[in-house]
Amino acid sequence: MSTQLRLDLTHAVTDTDLQLLQPNILEAHELLHSGRGAGSEFTGWLDLPSSFDREEFIRIQNAAARIRCAADVLIVIGIGGSYLGTRATLELLSHSFHNQLPRDRRPGTAVYFAGHQLSPTYLNDLIDIIGDKDVVINVISKSGTTTEPAIAFRHLRQWMEQKYGQAEARRRIYATTDRARGALKQLADDEGYETFVVPDDIGGRYSVLTAVGLLPIAAAGIDINALMAGAADAMNAYREPSLASNACYRYAAARQHLYRQGKSIEVLAAYEPGTQYLVEWWKQLYGESEGKDNKGLFPASLQLTTDLHSMGQYIQDGLRQLFETVLTFDRPRRDLQIPRVESDGDGLNFLAGQSMHYVNERAMAGTLLAHVDGGVPNIHIALPEPDAYNLGHLFYFFEKACAISGYMLGVNPFDQPGVESYKKNMFALLGKPGYEAAKAELEKRLQR
C-alpha cells in the first residue's frame, strides 16, 4: 500500500526559488540524520515507524481490546503532545458524533478528554456525563507533575475509587509515563496500574505514534497497524535530501523561502470539520518547534468553508504578511448527492445530482485562486482519503518537515524553553514552596 500525497507549490514558489535552498536542505538533512544537530537526543521519532517496540505494541493492542470490553467511556488525561495527536486522529477518522452513537454502532469506546486546561466547569460537566457509565482512565504524563493533568487526575482518581473501590479502580487506570522515574511512574508502581512508556528520546509533540497516542486511538477502534504502516512508508519516501523528489523537504523549503520573503504567518486551511484538532496538533508542532530566538512563522488555522464567512475578508484583503497551506482529501469518509426540488427557491437546482464533496472541492479551488489573486501564496497538500494509513503518513510528513525547517531556521526544533516562563510565574503566584521571593515581586507587578 502506498500513499499518493501530493504537494503543489505552483501558487507559492518557483523551482528556481527552491533550488537556491538545496544547500540549506543538505545541511539540515545532515544535522538531523547524523545526530549532530541541536536537540538530537530527541530524534527517536525519526526511525520510530521501523524501530518501535513490537512487544509493547502488542500490549497496547491487548489493553485496548480490554478497554473496549470493560468500558463505555475512556477518559484520556493529558495536555499538549500528550493529548492533541490522539484527539486529531479521533476527530478525523471517527464518526463526527462518535461518542453519541449507541455502543453497537461504533467500533470502540467513547473517548473524552481531561487535563488539557484548568476549567472547573469542564471537569464538573465531564463527571456529570460519565456518572452512570463504566469508565477507564488513561493518564498520560512524562513526569506526573504537570499542573493541568495532575489536578484532573487527582479528581478523577478519587471519583473512580469512590465508584469502584480501590482494587477495581486500579485495574481501570492505565498510566503512560516515563519508563523508570517520575511521580506518575512511582504512583503507578505503588498502585499496580498497567503502564506504557513515553520514550526518553521523543518529545511530546512528536509522540503521537508512541503509546501516548496509540493506546487511546486503538481503544476507540482505529487501526493502529495502518497508522504505523503509513508512517513507515513516509519514513522511506522522505529519506533522500533531493528537493527534486522529496515532497517533505520541498514543503520545508517553501515555508522558509516565504519566511525570508517577509511572510510571518502560515495559515493551515482545511475543508473538513474533522481536521479541527489535526490543525491544532500542527500548530503545537510548528509553534513550539520554531518559535525561538525571536524567529519563526506564526502557525494559524482556518476551518473552511466556515471561516470564509468570518475571516475570509481579512485573508483576501488584509495585511499581506501571511501565506496559506491548504489540506484536502480527494474523497470524504461519506458523501451526499444534492437533490432536485420543484420550487428551486434557493436557485441551486443547477447543482442537482452533484455530490456535496464536489461542491466543497470547487469552493476550495475558487478560494485558492481568489486568495492568490489577492496576494496570498498558497501551498496545496492533497491526500486520497482520511484513513489511518494516510494520517500516519501525514503525521510523519509534518514532523520531518518541521525538523528540517527548524534547522534551516537556525533553532533547536526539539526544545521549548519559553514554556517554562509561565509555569514559574504560575507556581510563584500560587505560593508553591521555593517561589516565595518571586511571588512578592509578581504581586507588585500585577498591582501596577
Distance separating alpha carbons of residues 421 and 337, to the nearest angstrom: 52
Asked if 289 contacts 402 with a C-beta cutoff of 8 angstroms, the reply is yes
Q: Which are the catalytic amino acids?
A: 288, 423
Cα 3 from Cα 229, distance rounded (Å)? 10
Say if residues 95 and 220 touch (Cβ distance below 8 Å). Answer: no
**109, 73 in Cβ contact below 8 A?**
yes
44 vs 133: CA distance, rounded Å: 38
Q: Which residue carries 496559506 as its cell? A: 324
**Torsion angle of the four alpha carbons 219, 222, 224, 230, in this order, in degrees rounded to the nearest 10:** -160
Other residues' Cβ atoms within 10 Å of the Cβ of residue 19: 13
- For residues 220 and 91, give the distance between their C-alpha atoms in angstroms, rounded to a whole number: 11
User: Is residue 212 within 8 Å of residue 204, measured between CB atoms?
Assistant: yes
Please report, for residues 72, 160, 191, 448, the alpha-carbon distance to residue 168 in angstroms, rounded to integers and kept in the order given.
Answer: 16, 9, 11, 52
Q: Summarize the chain as % helix, strand, coil (round to 5).
A: 55, 15, 30
